[in-house]
Chain A
Amino acid sequence: MTVSASSTTAEETDAPEGPKFVFNWVGRIGLSVIVFWAIVAIFGPALAPHPPGEIVDWDYFGPVTSEFWMGTDYLGRDIFSRIIMGARYTVGIALAAVTLACTIGVLLGMVAAVAGGWFDMILSRFLDAYNGIPSLLFGLVVVAAVGSSIPVLVLTLTAIYMPGSYRFARALAVNINTMDFVTVARARGEATPYLILREIFPNILGPVLADLGLRFVFIVLVLSGLSFLGLGVQPPNADWGALVRENIEGLSLGAPAVLFPSVAIASLTISVNMFIDNLPTRIRDRSE
C-alpha cells in the first residue's frame, strides 16, 4: 500500500532531466562559505599559523601584517589562529545543540501528531509556556545556577530551541497525518513507530532540514551572545563571541582584533540564511 505513496515521489525526482537540485548563485555562495567553515573547524590545528594560546607579538592590538594576517589581540596573540580555533567551539557547540534539539523536538512532534489526545494537549501547552522565556535570559539564569561548561552550554541551547522545533514538526506532521496513505497504513494495523518513521518522517524531512538550518543560526547567535557576556566558553579557550569580548577594549582604537571575529560570525550566519532562503522549493516545501 505504501507503494502508491513512494512511487509518486519517485516519479517526481526522476522527471526533470539533468541535475536533481539546482541552486542559484546566492545559494551556492552560502553553501561554499558553510563548507569552508566546516573544513576550518575540522582541520583547525593544522591550519593555524601560530599556536592560538601563545603570545607571539610584543605589541598588543597589533595591526594587520604579513605575519599576523588579522592582527593581534589584547595580549599579543595571533587573531587569525584564534579565529580558526574558535570555529571549533562556535560551529561544534551549535551543531551539537541543534542536532539534539531537532532530534528530540521532531520525534516528540511526530509522536504528538500521531498520538493526539491528552499527550498532545499537555505537551503542547507545556512547551508553549516554555516559549514565554526569552532565550538569552534562560541561558543567563542557567549559567548563573550551574556554572558554564561546554556540556552545560550544549544542553541549555538544546533546551531553549527544542520547543520551537517541536511546534514546527508537529504542525507539519498533523497535516501529513490526515492524508490517505497514513490512514491506509493505520487501517492496515501498523504500529505508531512505523507510522512515524516510514510514513510521516520522509514527508516532512525537507522542511525539517530547512528549519534545522535556521535554528542553527539562532543558536550561534545566542551562544555568541552568552560568550560575549562572559558566560559562554571560558578562557583560555574562546569561541568567536568570547573573542569579541576579550578585545572589546580595542574597539575605540579601531583594532582589527575586534572586527574579524565579528566578521566570522556574520559570514557564517548570513551564509546559512542565504543557503536556506535559496533552497530549491522542492526540498523546502516538500509537504505541500
Chain B
Amino acid sequence: MNRSLLPYILVAQRLGIALLTLIIVSFAVFFATALLPGDVAEILLGQAATPDAVAGLRDAMGLNEPALSRFVHWLLGLAQGDMGTSYVNNMEVAELVGGRLLNSLRLAGVVTLVSVPVALTLGICAAMWQGSMFDRAVSVLTISVVSVPEFMVATLAVLIFAVWLGWLPALSYGVDLDSWSAMLRAYAMPVISLSMVVSAQMIRMTRAAVIETINTPYVEMALLKGASLSRMVLRHALPNALGPIANAVALSLSYLVGGVIIVETIFNYPGVAKLMVDAVSTRDLPLIQSCAMIFCVSYLSLITLADLIAILSNPRLR
C-alpha cells in the first residue's frame, strides 16, 4: 500500500519544487529588470523630464510603492493574464505578445513534429549498430552540432541551401504567405536550423538510453536464446528504454527555448523571441518581463515534464 503511493509522493514533490522554482524565477526576473537600472519615469519622459513631471508620473505608475508590494501586484496581475502596458507604444503587452506567441508556438510545433521522429530513428539505429561506420558518422555529426553556437548552424544552413544550392530564399518572412509553397519555403529555413539543433541533442540522449538497456542481462539473454538483432532491440530493449527516451525528448525540446531566440533573430521571424530582443534594445521593461516569463514557464514545464516522465516510467517505483 505504502509502496504504491511512492510515485505520487515523488510527483507531488517534483511539482512543488517546480512551483517554488517558478516563484524564485519570477522574483529574479522582476528584480533584475525593475530595480537595477535608472529611473523609468525619467527615461519615459526624456526631454520633458522636469522634477514635477517625473514625480507625477512616478506616482501614477505606482513606482513609489515598496518594491515587494509592486512585485506581488505584478505577479497577481500576471496570474490573471494582465501583463501591463508597454512603455514604448502604450499598447497592452498581452495584445503585443498574443499573435507573436502563436507564431512561436507554430514554429516550435513544426520543429517538434520534424525532429522527434528523425532523432528517435537515428538514435535507435545508432545504438543498434553500435560502433559501426553509421554510428560513428552520427556521433561525429551530433557532437559537432552540439558544440557550435546555434547561430552557426543557422548560418551554415543558409549558406548551403540558399547560397550554394539556391533552393530556398536566404532571409525571408512575411513576403507573401498566400500559397502553400510560399509558406513552406518561408518556414523551411528556420525549421531546418532549429530541428538540427534540437535533434542533435535528442539523438545523443536516445542512443545513450538504448545502449544502456542493451547492456542489461535480460537483453543479453534474448540474444543468447537466438533472437535477431532487430528483435532484440525492438522487442526487448526498446520497451524498457521508453521512459529514458521520453525523458530525453522533453529535455532536448527545452533547447528550443534558447535556439528559438537566435533563430527568430537571424531569420526575422515574427515570434516572441524577436519581440523580446527588440524590447531589450528599446528597454521596454514590461514587455521584457512578460516575454522572459513566457520563456521561463515553457522551459520549466519541459524540464519538469522530463522529470515526471522519468519518475512515472520507472517500474521500480510502482
Chain A residues with Cβ below 8 Å from B155 are 244, 248, 251, 258, 262
B88 within 8 A of A: no
| Of the residues B147, B156, B262, contact of A273 by C-beta under 8 Å | B147
A171 within 8 A of B: no
Chain B residues lying within 8 Å of A272, measured Cβ to Cβ, are 147
Q: Say yes or no: A132 contacts B300, CB within 8 Å.
A: yes
Q: How far is the CA of A133 from the CA of B156 in the complex (A)?
A: 28
Distance, CA A137 to CA B32, complexed state (A)? 12
The interface residues of chain B lying within 8 Å CB-to-CB of A130 are 24, 28
Cα distance, A135 to B292, chains bound together (Å): 12
A280 within 8 A of B: no
Q: Mark B250-275, 1 if CB is under 8 A from A, else 0.
A: 00001001100110011000000000
* Contact indicator A129/B36 (Cβ below 8 Å): no
Interface stretch, picked from A51-59, A62-70, A195-203, A222-230, is A222-230
A137-B295, A141-B32, A270-B144 known; A132+B22 contact, CB < 8 A: yes
B21 and A248 within 8 A (CB): no
Structural contact, B25 and A132, CB atoms closer than 8 A: yes
**CB contact list, B142-183 vs A, under 8 A:** 143-144, 147-152, 155-156, 158-159, 162-164, 170-171
- Provide the residues of chain B in CB contact with A155, threshold 8 Å: none
For A5, list chain B residues within 8 Å (CB). none
- Taking CB atoms, residues of chain B closer than 8 Å to A254 are 159, 163-164
Q: In this assembly, does A142 line the interface, its C-beta being within 8 Å of a C-beta of chain B?
A: yes
Q: In whole Å, how far is A288's beta carbon from the nearest beta carbon of chain B?
A: 18
What's the nearest-Cβ distance from chain A to residue B78, in Å?
15
Asked if B296 is an interface residue, CB under 8 A from chain A, the answer is yes
Q: Which of A18-57 contact B (CB under 8 A)?
A: none
| Interchain nearest-CB distance for B45 vs A (Å) | 20
**Is the CB–CB distance between A225 and B170 below 8 Å?**
no
Q: Which residues of A contact B37 (CB under 8 A)?
A: 145-147
Q: Does B280 contact A (CB under 8 A)?
A: yes
Complex CA gap A273/B278 in Å reads: 34
Which residue of A has the minimal Cβ distance to B31? A145
Distance (Å) between the CB of B54 and the closest chain A CB?
Answer: 20
Q: Residues 82-109 of chain B: 1 if any A CB is under 8 Å from the residue's CB, otherwise 0?
A: 0000000000000000000000000000
The digit string for A100-132, where 1 denotes a CB below 8 A from any CB of B, is: 000000000000000000000000011011101
Q: What is the CA–CA distance of A253 and B171 in the complex, to the nearest angstrom?
A: 12
Alpha-carbon separation in the docked complex, A144 to B30 (Å):
12
Residues 211-227 (chain B) with a chain A CB within 8 angstroms: none
A79: which B residues are within 8 A, CB to CB?
A: none
Q: Looking at the complex, which one of B18, B158, B162, B276 makes contact with A140 (CB distance below 8 Å)?
A: B276
Instruction: Say yes or no: is A85 at the interface (Cβ < 8 Å to chain B).
Output: no
Classify the secondary structure of B's interface with A.
helix
Q: Is the CB of B281 within 8 A of A230?
A: yes
Chain B 272-316 near chain A by CB (<8 Å), digits 1 or 0:
000011011101010010001001100110010000000000000
| Residue pair B21, A132 in contact (C-beta under 8 Å) | yes
Asked whether B280 lies within 8 Å of A231 as measured between CB atoms, the reply is: yes
Residue contact A132 to B303, C-beta cutoff 8 Å? yes
Closest to A136 in B: B258
Whether B159 contacts A248 by the Cβ 8 Å rule is no
Which B residues are in CB contact (< 8 Å) with A283? none
Quick check: A128 and B262 within 8 Å, CB to CB? no
A144 touches B280 (CB 8 A): yes
A207-227 contact mask (Cβ, 8 Å, vs B): 1 or 0? 000000000010001001100
Minimum Cβ distance to chain B for residue A127 (Å): 10
Is there a chain B Cβ closer than 8 Å to A241's Cβ?
A: yes
Contacts of A266 in B (CB 8 A): 144, 147-148, 152
Max chain B CB contacts within 10 Å: which of A130, A141, A146, A225? A141
Q: Which of A268-288 contact B (CB under 8 A)?
A: 269-270, 272-273
In the complex, which of the residues B21, B25, B36, B147 contacts A269, with contact meaning CB atoms closer than 8 Å?
Answer: B147
Sample of 15 A–B contacts (CB below 8 Å): A125-B17, A132-B300, A133-B296, A134-B254, A137-B292, A144-B33, A228-B151, A241-B149, A251-B159, A252-B162, A253-B163, A254-B159, A254-B164, A262-B152, A270-B148
Q: Which 6 A-B pairs have the closest CB atoms?
A: A132-B21, A129-B21, A129-B24, A144-B280, A252-B170, A145-B36
Question: B: which residues have CB within 8 A of A?
Answer: 17-18, 20-22, 24-25, 28-29, 32-33, 36-37, 143-144, 147-152, 155-156, 158-159, 162-164, 170-171, 254, 257-258, 261-262, 265-266, 276-277, 279-281, 283, 285, 288, 292, 295-296, 299-300, 303
7 new A-B contacts, CB < 8 A, other than A137-B258, A141-B29, A144-B288, are A126-B24, A136-B262, A140-B288, A217-B147, A254-B164, A262-B156, A265-B148
